[in-house]
Structure 1
Amino acid sequence: MNGAPRQEDSTTSTLDAAALLPQLRAWALELGFSQIGVADIDLASAEPGLLAWLEAGFHGEMHYMAAHGLKRARPAELVPGTLRVLTARMDYRPQDSADDWQAIEWRGLRTPLQAQVSLYARGRDYHKVLRARLQQLATRIEAAIGPFGHRVFTDSAPVLEVELAARSGIGWRGKHTLTLHREHGSMFFLGEIYLDLPLPLSEPVTAHCGQCQACLDICPTRAIVAPYRVDARRCISYLTIEQDGPIPLELRAAIGNRIYGCDDCQLICPWNKFAGKSELPDFDARAPLRAPRLLDLWVWDEAEFLRRTEGSAIRRIGHARWRRNIAVALGNALRETGDPAVAQALAEALPQASELLAEHIEWALEQGQPERQAEHAHQGG
């Protein structure tokens, strides 16, 4: 834990912490956060669900999920000295997005030759943005009260961030397992500061999914296997970002033109009609990722990929996965459009392709064969 724990009696410490909270909220807003909350560190009731999810193998190749065991649900074991978890929400819908942004995203998904990148990944890497601003928030606390123990997290350690967000009043866990807010939907990032300050706890909010299961019904690969339960091995976000190696054959057609992540369960969610715009320009889409064409992205060599994705979350997957994902999307586009330019681009790349990429290119080229198109039509597209 960064900083030295303060040597104060508990009564004074509690009074100081209570007085600090309003100032903390004001600082957070100044730093671009949309909301903060305070969660207790007793997450014992979440442990059975975490264990069941891991035992089912739903974490796939994300071995780090299991490596830390129940430390994920025990903040004081992960960071000794932790008394509270400060949770933070940061909206990421781009500042320049249109009011009908959801309709625009759906049109993109229906345009086979367009590359679809998750909305959150089109601008600056959120890890960098949130981590820096959470640390600035911690620095302001330290300036006000002196050294204190803390550690900042942004999707960077074994933290049950949705559980903590729900317990601290940021929102409730939706059936797609993401955090939902009645006035802001789910288009936001979460970050945390584990700290040794006894801040007053925030009140959790009630859930408002009701009987709706739109997210379950829309999932292209049926990855949401039950309300509040996702099999990551079937999730397009996992397949295009986390998974190394080949994408399962039976899931490739369902990926469509999604080359980095998937937003379908959020796009269909009724609460996201309230999704607010970001206070920061960091999440505005970079020029190459504004309605990009698959064929334009396909020709990026590794040097151009690294240059174009500098400071972006996309860079984390590397050029090999990037090409693998685009090859699948081009195969789906070839099946839908029969565009000879797609077949030519794939065929020209095949001789120099790695074994992994070659297998995906060969699959993609097969999608242009009449029998493949007929088979797909018979299966209902």
Structure 2
Amino acid sequence: MNRREKKANEKLLNIVPAVLALALLGSAAAQSVQVTRAPTASQAQTAQAQALQAAASLRPAVGGELRSLELPGFGTVRYYASDSGEGRPLVLTHSVNAAASSYEMKPLWDAYAGKRPVYSLEWPGFGQSDRPDTRYSAELMTQALLALVDQLDSDVDVVALSLGSEFAARAALEEPRIRSLALLSPSGLGKSRGGSQESREDGRSEQTYERLSRFEGPLYGLIRSRPSIQYFLGKSFRGPVPEEVVQYAWETSRQPGAVHAPLYFVSGTLFTPDAYDSIYSRLTVPTAVLYDQDAFVSFDRLPEFAAKRNVAAVRIAGTDGLPQWEQTAAVQQVLGDLWRQAR
């Protein structure tokens, strides 16, 4: 192995979470490692049929009606809809990780569904949306949110979680019908706390993706193991992790094609380089940042962001990245203040 190859491998190891090494010790993780081979035509047809059946069998993440929209060049994006209630429609967007879905936003769905129109978007590659083997990007995710707003054909309030905040902010720069943004523990406001939670410039994210894709089967098999899911969720909850959250993450990570989008996430290609200067600093819409501690992202530039007239930063004490689960009432209070400002 030459010096360049050794250095590349060291970088690869740095972005793979340490929990993967621990997961190797577990029999469940070991059983999940498989060697993938190119399928025959008949195998591909069978896999497609199985994918459709499995997608239909994934239980709903939240209540309401499951609807769809077509995204050109991608396929079907789905979202949950509850039309009852009064006021401006509320759009919820979950985070991006190895097992993301609208279930992450369930406490807010339950709090507002029936009181105002609520819609929860499943990002491309996650939840009930299609999960093809295609290129996932911040632009693709942003287009999904823009397509939903266009389909609703109404002014909306958006509540976004973690990396979803970057996509929501991008959309707000293009779509005037997004009247307010609530960003829960957003990425892009400081240095990441882990090698995989940031964009790599000069094409390095793409290079990382190419290296990771050689091991996508075994790698994702480890990431989606129940011990791994429990470990990562444990970093986002101050208290005990609800078993229902672990279970749904485990279920959604086993849908056909579930490996594809998370691989782009781990490689860093879904993150925006210098998101503060290129996205957040340009926002003029009323915006609230809800934060406390976060094991994966930091908020170094939050004071600068909060100095803008349209931005409020509110610390939700006692939370580690998922305030909507552990301090639902406090989050609702901040949201109510934001929406009154955005009338």
Structure number with the higher helix fraction is 1
TM-score normalised over the length of structure 2: 0.25
Q: Which has the larger radius of gyration?
A: 1
TM-score normalised over the length of structure 1: 0.24
